[in-house]
């Protein structure tokens, strides 16, 4: 897949800037990022850097079933799991969720991803200035050899 053009990225940034709430920003990020990068699934996990915790009630997802989203919320990110790994590494690429690597999500989440049809995903940190504010996941129904940078 070809990367989005500068014009597309500027239009997405302008769209996101119109949001009036943090939930609105997350929703626009999920919609714009999935459209620009052709992802069938997208998730924004808001992160509170002060408490060093993710905020389950503010999770925004696209493409997943309601049951999957609720499971993500109840099994919120925990230290040493994928979202905290993304925070540490800044970006995590998983070309095939069925292949075992140190970054593949915990078995329970991997099973949920499989049941939703996810075959590959990429997670990256969203920052505002020097503050980490969320982890964005883009996921696909096919395995992918992602080419970076985006």
Chain segment 36-62, per-residue pLDDT in tens: 888 999 999 999 989 999 999 999 999
Residue with tokens 């499971």: 71
Q: In 10 A of CB 114, how many CB atoms?
A: 12
State the Cα–Cα distance between residues 89 and 87, nearest whole angstrom.
6
State the Cα–Cα distance between residues 36 and 111, nearest whole angstrom.
27
CA distances from 106 to 49, 92, 130 (A): 23, 14, 29
Give the tokens for residue 3. 């990367």
* pLDDT score of 27: 87
State the Cα–Cα distance between residues 68 and 93, nearest whole angstrom.
21
Residue with tokens 């050899």: 145
Chain segment 47-101, per-residue pLDDT in tens: 998 999 999 999 999 999 999 899 888 887 888 788 898 999 998 888 888 876 6
């Amino acid at each position: 897949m070809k990367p989005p053009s500068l014009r597309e990225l500027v239009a997405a940034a302008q769209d996101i800037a119109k949001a009036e709430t943090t939930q609105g920003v997350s929703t626009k990020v999920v919609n714009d990022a999935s459209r620009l990068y052709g992802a069938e699934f997208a998730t924004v996990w808001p992160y509170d850097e002060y408490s060093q915790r993710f905020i389950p009630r503010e999770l925004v997802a696209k493409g997943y079933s309601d049951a999957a989203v609720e499971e993500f919320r109840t099994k919120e990110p925990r230290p040493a799991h994928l979202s905290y790994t993304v925070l540490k590494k800044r970006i995590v690429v998983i070309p095939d969720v069925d292949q075992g690597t140190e970054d593949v999500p915990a078995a329970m989440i991997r099973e949920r991803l499989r049941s939703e049809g996810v075959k590959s995903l990429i997670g990256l940190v969203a920052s505002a200035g020097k503050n980490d504010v969320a982890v964005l996941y883009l996921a696909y129904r096919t395995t992918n050899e992602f080419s970076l940078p985006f």
